[in-house]
């Protein structure tokens, strides 16, 4: 294969639309949503928040995910509304507090996991560096994202051995000796963590990980006009929602059942 | 003892924080599904297995800044999965306080590790639960709009009352102490015995 | 040119010097093999080449190492990043990014190269090492061999003049090893200086210029390629070295008979398995195993060896077929109780805080005498109080084998038992397996190590691409066919 062809392959994106925005812009929006979501009391405005950001995500490889979250939002909201017909003292109060909390969480989870899925690690490193965050934050963060999938495989391996050797292999043993079970799982896992750390660190330092040069990602990372426009629009929209929440629109009840 | 953190330390922090984060997610999910009452106590339960991990981390990297970095990373992750902004802020403040408590001295000891971990866990419990108190007015407002009976609203005010919050934070502290204790036992039994770390 | 001048090194935490007065001069473009028994100091030697010593592993140093007139010891590892490239043993734990393209770019990005420069370099690396098929993929979906090629590519993009490989073949199958040898050949032809630390060096014999045999931290002998390959068998074994011509073992093979005290019979009838939504991993797998058999399970990566092992040990449930032991059909739970799996990574298998406890863990009845006897048989008695994690790799493996013996499993499975082992440890594992089989245990061995298979197995089971399985008594003809498949 020719070098030009390979270069095209390297520059080819599997992401498009809003997923390609600067990670800083995505994180800014997330933080703002996190702030606003908890203070919105009205049902119409909360739903509007879900729908508009769902649409935003759908324009960046997140269509299915947004739909899933919107549907679950509506289901939870509906169930929560049903609660007022169940008159169990204390419990239904607690349930409704719980329900309301979940409703506040859903938009943030939708946005947060979408950001995780649509952000290249090197883009993230570059934009964190541009935010003047030190290596003390960028390196652990990158290592984490890479290590979490590995943890699952390693956990499986340890459980397999435990099953074969008859260590905490039945539910009964696990329930009756929870601390021993934790120890049997955690100790080999931690031993492995120490080893992986050594190897990763050796591999990283010999490839210049400790250098604090200005980094450049495979994609140009700039906070330019699309990012500025999206951030402004996003924040403006949230401000309008907050404002509407204080007025008549915030009082309309949707889930009357 | 007062050495600068290097890339290897950052990687260890990353790897172990990943583990603590996963444990935290699993436990908080299980406890949320189990019911809202258990939900508010998840920080204290999480503190128990994470005690083992944290004790290992502190013993392996006895340098200033470990707590802060570890807390900051968790804060960013909490932000990504939709926690209220109070948790990240609380975590970072807790991390900084604990760093000064443990690492401010010349040498790290078992006692200072335990004390700072318990404190950290209490601050975490506080910042995880506090939003409910914070949002009380918003909740009440929403409920009034939804024509929910007054007794419901009173009930809700009750479970987010100040004594309840104290109980939750105290549980966090106790969880941290238990976790620290178990962690140090495991440290002595395994890691110190195997010659992988040494603590005075 | 790199020259070691009377270089000695002692790790901070140890009492004795690991390296003593190393004196050697390597010319640019040479292909150097460093070999010797485990723990002889080979790894320490290369750590001092890539800057990990003294910055990463502090300690006491004497003498100096010069590269083109500059002292390596005064340079930070990050300064060396563009000059000395290292590929480590375990491909799973040396990547930072989650997709391949970015992993290739990782080093360049660390150096602060511009976007265009980075893309140029990784395109060059991709082209010259033929990695185009792996671009834009998730790292987690790659096999060990593929991961390692990406790791080499990432180092190559940094354009170092010196390459270091630390036991690169330990986690690879024969096809991936062949590919590795090809890549190394390319690097050599481009005139780079290459250091390889390796126990199983047969695949390098074409490329080697000089071999340094290291013993107890000193250079014991220096060979040219011709001298090294012509080393008489006895001398080679006395140095603890693996063979450079494993295929010759096939010619000298003397048939091994199973110890015929076998009463147990493990029968597998038309086993089939596929993962959810996935294609079939294999189908219609049938074979028989008698007590005392040592059966090698062969096949390239992805042929389903691990899946077969998981089903046989009861970790997975088969979709078709059955597994019978002494005529009784076994459920996965019963299979778990009967079998024991010695994994490649011993880290996952050690739970207790002393060797003694480790052996008796999970056994209900009193087994003190048995533990004592097993410790003695495995030459582990002096370590009984030690924490398993403080032992060496070979010792850890023996501890897990010990646990299998104490558990009294009639069927024991080994997954790649010889990866990263030197000659002596390999022979030791082979003997242990022979003892197990003599005592009437059915042993299955998944291995890519030809020398070890010839030495150990009585039968081989081959999994091929279509999941079909062939079950053969090991004979010179079979070995010949196998060696052709492996080495040509």
Shortest Cα–Cα distance, C25 to chain B (Å): 31
Calculated CA dihedral for residues B150, B152, B154, B160, nearest 10 degrees? -150
Residue C41 φ/ψ region, left for φ over 0, alpha for ψ in the -120 to 50 degree band, beta for the rest: left
Please give the Cα distance from C445 to C416 (Å, whole number). Answer: 7
Mutate to test the interface with B, among A76, A92, A118, A141 (most CBs of B within 10 A): A141
Confidence of residue C109 (pLDDT cuts 50, 70, 90): very high
pLDDT at residue C265 tops 90 = no
The residue that leads in pLDDT, A176 or B157, is A176
Q: Do B194 and C387 touch (CB under 8 A)?
A: yes
Compute the average pLDDT of residues C360-367.
Answer: 80
Render the burial of B16-48: b for 16+ CB within 10 Å, e for the rest.
Answer: bbbbbbbbbeebbeebbeeebeebbbbbbbbbb
Q: What pLDDT was estimated at residue A1?
A: 67
Return the number of CB contacts < 8 Å for B and C.
17
Shortest Cα–Cα distance, A69 to chain B (Å): 13
Q: What pLDDT was estimated at residue A197?
A: 93
Q: pTM here?
A: 0.90
Q: What pLDDT was estimated at residue B17?
A: 94
Question: Sign of dihedral through CA atoms A227, A233, A234, A239?
Answer: positive
Q: Do B190 and C353 touch (CB under 8 A)?
A: yes
Q: Quick: pLDDT tens for A208-256.
A: 888 888 999 988 888 889 899 999 999 999 999 888 887 776 666 666 6
Q: Quick: pLDDT tens for C404-432.
A: 888 888 999 999 899 888 899 999 999 99
Confidence of residue B166 (pLDDT cuts 50, 70, 90): confident
Q: Quick: pLDDT tens for A40-71.
A: 777 788 888 999 999 999 988 888 999 999 99
Confidence of residue B148 (pLDDT cuts 50, 70, 90): low
Cβ contact C374:C402 at 8 Å: yes
DSSP for C104-139, please give it: HHHHHHHTT--HHHHHHHHHHHHHHTT-GGGTT-BG
Q: What pLDDT was estimated at residue C262?
A: 60
Residues of chain C with CATH 3.40.50.300: 2-245, 265-487
On chain A, the residues whose CB falls within 8 A of the CB of B196 are: 194
Using the Cβ of C361 and the Cβ atoms of chain B, whether some distance falls under 8 Å is answered with no
Q: Do A199 and C76 touch (CB under 8 A)?
A: no
The DSSP bridge partners found for residue C22 are C7
- Give the chain A residue whose CA is nearest to the CA of B32: A98
Where are any strands of DSSP class E within C50-107?
59-67, 70-71, 84-87
Dig out the tokens for C196 from the structure: 């390889």
Confidence of residue C443 (pLDDT cuts 50, 70, 90): very high
Q: Do A201 and B11 touch (CB under 8 A)?
A: yes
CATH 1.10.3470 fits B7-192, yes or no: no
A142: nearest CB among C85, C96, C362: C96
Q: Which CATH number fits domain C2-245: 3.30.930.10, 1.10.260.40, 3.65.10.10, 3.40.50.300?
A: 3.40.50.300
pLDDT at residue B2 tops 60 = no
C101: nearest CB among A145, A211, A218: A218
pLDDT at residue B146 tops 60 = no
Shortest Cα–Cα distance, C105 to chain B (Å): 19
Angle between helical axes of C100-110 and A121-130 (0-180°, round to 10): 30
Average predicted confidence (pLDDT) for chain C = 88
Shortest Cα–Cα distance, B73 to chain A (Å): 6
* SS3 state at A21: coil
Where are any strands of DSSP class E within C374-481?
411-415, 442-446, 459-463, 469-473
pLDDT at residue C324 tops 50 = yes
Shortest Cα–Cα distance, B44 to chain C (Å): 26
Q: What pLDDT was estimated at residue A207?
A: 92
Shortest Cα–Cα distance, B93 to chain C (Å): 29
- The interface residues of chain C toward chain B in range 30-59, judged by CB-CB distance below 8 A, are 56
C336: nearest CB among A143, A158, A164: A164
Q: Do C353 and B196 touch (CB under 8 A)?
A: no
Dig out the tokens for C344 from the structure: 């490649």
Q: What pLDDT was estimated at residue C271?
A: 84
Cβ contact B80:A112 at 8 Å: yes
Question: Sign of dihedral through CA atoms C260, C266, C272, C273?
Answer: negative
On chain B, the residues whose CB falls within 8 A of the CB of C353 are: 189-190, 193
Q: Do C76 and A218 touch (CB under 8 A)?
A: no
Residue C446 φ/ψ region, left for φ over 0, alpha for ψ in the -120 to 50 degree band, beta for the rest: beta
Chains interfacing with B (3 or more CB pairs < 8 Å): A, C
Average predicted confidence (pLDDT) for chain A = 86
Please give the Cα distance from B79 to B71 (Å, whole number). Answer: 12
Q: What pLDDT was estimated at residue C313?
A: 92
Dig out the tokens for C159 from the structure: 């354009």
Using the Cβ of C389 and the Cβ atoms of chain B, whether some distance falls under 8 Å is answered with yes
On chain B, the residues whose CB falls within 8 A of the CB of A38 are: 84, 131, 135, 138
Q: What pLDDT was estimated at residue A233?
A: 94
Q: Do B196 and C388 touch (CB under 8 A)?
A: no
Q: What pLDDT was estimated at residue B144?
A: 62
Mutate to test the interface with A, among B8, B9, B10 (most CBs of A within 10 A): B10
* CATH code of the domain occupying C265-487: 3.40.50.300
A192: nearest CB among C107, C119, C348: C348
Shortest Cα–Cα distance, A79 to chain B (Å): 14
Q: Do B69 and A100 touch (CB under 8 A)?
A: no
Using the Cβ of A210 and the Cβ atoms of chain B, whether some distance falls under 8 Å is answered with yes
Interface of B with C (CB under 8 A): 8, 189-190, 193-196
pLDDT at residue A83 tops 70 = yes
Average predicted confidence (pLDDT) for chain B = 82
Mutate to test the interface with B, among A118, A131, A143 (most CBs of B within 10 A): A143
Return the number of CB contacts < 8 Å for A and B.
172
Mutate to test the interface with C, among A15, A139, A161, A221 (most CBs of C within 10 A): A161
* C2-11 vs C59-67, strand pairing mode: antiparallel
Specify the range with the lowest mean pLDDT, choosing from A9-13, C119-123, C451-455: A9-13
Please give the Cα distance from A247 to B1 (Å, whole number). Answer: 59
Q: Do C387 and B8 touch (CB under 8 A)?
A: no
Confidence of residue B150 (pLDDT cuts 50, 70, 90): low
Please give the Cα distance from C195 to C208 (Å, whole number). Answer: 10
- The interface residues of chain A toward chain B in range 143-182, judged by CB-CB distance below 8 A, are 143-144, 147-148, 151, 179, 182
Q: What pLDDT was estimated at residue B99?
A: 86
Using the Cβ of C127 and the Cβ atoms of chain A, whether some distance falls under 8 Å is answered with yes
Q: Give the per-residue SS3 of B54-110.
A: HHHHHHHCCCCCHHHHHHHHHHHHHHHCCCCCHHHHHHHHHHHHHHHHHHCCCCCCH
Confidence of residue C366 (pLDDT cuts 50, 70, 90): confident
Q: Which helix (H) or strand (E) holds C356?
A: helix C355-360
Compute the average pLDDT of residues C266-281.
Answer: 81
Please give the Cα distance from C411 to C138 (Å, whole number). Answer: 37
> In chain C, pLDDT over 90 holds for what percent of residues?
40
On chain A, the residues whose CB falls within 8 A of the CB of B72 are: 137
Using the Cβ of A209 and the Cβ atoms of chain B, whether some distance falls under 8 Å is answered with yes
- Give the chain A residue whose CA is nearest to the CA of B16: A193
Domain residue limits, chain B: 7-192
The DSSP bridge partners found for residue C67 are C2, C70
Q: Quick: pLDDT tens for C136-150.
A: 899 988 888 899 999
Specify the range with the lowest mean pLDDT, choosing from A113-117, C77-81, C438-442, C446-450: C77-81
pLDDT at residue B1 tops 50 = no
Q: Quick: pLDDT tens for B69-118.
A: 999 999 988 887 767 778 888 999 999 998 887 766 667 788 888 988 99
Q: Quick: pLDDT tens for C187-226.
A: 999 999 999 999 989 999 889 999 999 999 999 999 999 9
Residue C163 φ/ψ region, left for φ over 0, alpha for ψ in the -120 to 50 degree band, beta for the rest: beta
* SS3 state at A93: helix
């Amino acid at each position: 294969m020719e070098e030009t062809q390979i270069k095209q392959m390297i520059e080819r994106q599997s992401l498009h639309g809003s997923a390609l925005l600067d990670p800083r812009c995505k994180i800014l929006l997330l933080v703002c949503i996190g702030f606003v979501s908890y203070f919105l009391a009205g049902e119409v405005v909360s739903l509007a928040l879900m729908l508009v950001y769902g649409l935003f995500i759908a324009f960046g490889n997140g269509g299915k995910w947004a739909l899933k979250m919107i549907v679950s939002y509506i289901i939870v909201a509906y169930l929560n509304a049903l609660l007022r017909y169940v008159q169990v003292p204390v419990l239904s109060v607690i349930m409704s507090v719980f329900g309301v909390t979940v409703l506040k969480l859903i938009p943030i989870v939708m946005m947060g996991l979408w950001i995780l899925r649509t952000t290249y690690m090197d883009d993230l490193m570059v934009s964190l560096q541009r935010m003047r965050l030190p290596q003390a934050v960028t390196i652990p963060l990158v290592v984490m994202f890479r290590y979490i999938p590995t943890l699952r495989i390693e956990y499986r391996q340890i459980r397999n051995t435990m099953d074969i050797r008859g260590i905490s292999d039945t539910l009964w043993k696990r329930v009756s000796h929870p601390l021993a079970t934790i120890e049997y799982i955690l100790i080999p896992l931690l031993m492995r963590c120490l080893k992986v750390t050594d190897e990763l660190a050796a591999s990283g330092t010999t490839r210049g990980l400790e250098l604090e040069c200005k980094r450049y990602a495979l994609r140009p990372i700039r906070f330019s006009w699309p990012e500025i426009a999206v951030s402004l629009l996003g924040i403006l929209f949230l401000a309008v929602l907050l404002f509407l929440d204080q007025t008549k629109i915030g009082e309309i009840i949707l889930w009357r059942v | 003892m007062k050495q600068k953190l290097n890339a290897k330390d950052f990687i260890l922090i990353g790897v172990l924080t990943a583990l603590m984060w996963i444990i935290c997610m699993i436990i908080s999910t299980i406890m949320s599904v189990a019911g809202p009452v258990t939900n508010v106590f998840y920080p204290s339960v999480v503190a128990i297995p994470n005690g083992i991990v944290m004790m290992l981390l502190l013993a392996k990297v006895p340098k200033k800044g470990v707590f802060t970095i570890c807390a900051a990373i968790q804060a960013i992750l909490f932000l990504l999965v939709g926690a209220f902004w109070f948790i990240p802020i609380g975590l970072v403040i807790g991390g900084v306080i604990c760093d000064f408590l443990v690492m401010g001295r010349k040498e790290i000891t078992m006692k200072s590790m335990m004390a700072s971990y318990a404190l950290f866990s209490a601050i975490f419990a506080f910042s995880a639960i506090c939003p409910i108190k914070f949002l009380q007015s918003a909740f009440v407002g929403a409920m009034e709009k939804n024509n929910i009976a007054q007794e419901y609203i009173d009930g809700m005010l009750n479970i987010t009352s100040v004594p309840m919050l104290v109980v939750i934070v105290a549980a966090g502290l106790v969880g941290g102490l238990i976790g620290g204790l178990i962690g140090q036992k495991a440290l002595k039994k395994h890691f110190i015995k195997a010659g992988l770390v040494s603590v005075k | 040119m790199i020259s070691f001048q009377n270089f000695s090194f002692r790790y901070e935490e140890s009492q004795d010097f690991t390296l003593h007065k190393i004196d050697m001069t390597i010319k640019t473009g040479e292909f150097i093999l460093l070999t010797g028994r485990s723990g002889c100091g080979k790894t320490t030697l290369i750590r001092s080449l890539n800057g990990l010593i003294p910055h990463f592993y502090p300690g006491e140093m004497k003498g100096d190492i010069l590269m083109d007139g500059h002292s390596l010891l005064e340079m930070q590892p990050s300064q060396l990043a563009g000059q000395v490239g290292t590929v480590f043993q375990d491909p799973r734990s040396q990547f930072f990014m989650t997709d391949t393209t970015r992993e290739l770019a990782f080093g360049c990005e660390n150096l602060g190269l511009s976007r265009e420069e980075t893309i140029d370099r990784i395109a060059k690396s991709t082209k010259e090492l033929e990695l185009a098929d792996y671009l834009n993929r998730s790292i987690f979906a790659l096999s060990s061999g593929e991961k390692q090629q990406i790791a080499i590519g990432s180092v190559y993009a940094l354009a170092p003049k010196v390459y270091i490989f630390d036991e690169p073949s330990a986690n690879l199958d024969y096809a991936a090893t062949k590919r590795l040898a090809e890549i190394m050949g390319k690097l050599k032809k481009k005139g780079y200086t290459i250091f390889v630390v390796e126990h199983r060096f047969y695949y390098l014999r074409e490329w080697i210029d000089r071999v340094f045999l290291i013993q107890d931290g000193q250079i014991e002998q220096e060979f040219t390629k011709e001298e090294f390959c012509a080393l008489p068998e006895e001398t080679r074994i006395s140095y603890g070295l693996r063979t450079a011509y494993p295929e010759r073992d096939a010619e000298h093979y003397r048939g091994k008979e199973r110890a015929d005290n076998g009463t147990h019979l493990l029968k597998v009838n038309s086993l089939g398995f596929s993962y959810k939504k996935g294609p079939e991993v294999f189908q219609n797998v049938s074979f028989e195993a008698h007590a005392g058999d040592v059966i090698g399970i062969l096949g390239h990566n992805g042929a389903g060896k691990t899946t077969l092992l998981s089903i046989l040990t009861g970790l997975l449930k088969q979709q078709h077929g059955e597994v019978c032991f002494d005529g009784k059909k076994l459920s996965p739970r019963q299979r778990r109780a009967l079998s024991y799996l010695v994994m490649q990574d011993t880290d996952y298998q050690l739970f207790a805080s002393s060797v003694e406890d480790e052996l008796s863990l999970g056994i209900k009845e009193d087994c003190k005498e048995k533990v004592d006897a097993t410790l003695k048989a495995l030459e582990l008695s002096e370590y009984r109080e030690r924490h398993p994690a403080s032992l060496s790799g070979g010792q850890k493996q023996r501890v897990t084998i010990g646990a299998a013996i104490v558990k009294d499993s009639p069927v024991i499975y080994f997954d790649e038992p010889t990866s990263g082992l030197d000659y002596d440890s390999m022979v030791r594992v082979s003997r242990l397996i022979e003892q197990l089989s003599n005592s009437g245990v059915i042993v299955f061995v998944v291995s890519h190590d030809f020398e070890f298979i010839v030495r150990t197995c009585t039968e081989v089971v081959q999994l091929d691409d279509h999941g079909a399985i062939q079950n053969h008594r090991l004979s010179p003809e079979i070995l010949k066919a196998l060696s052709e498949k492996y080495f040509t």
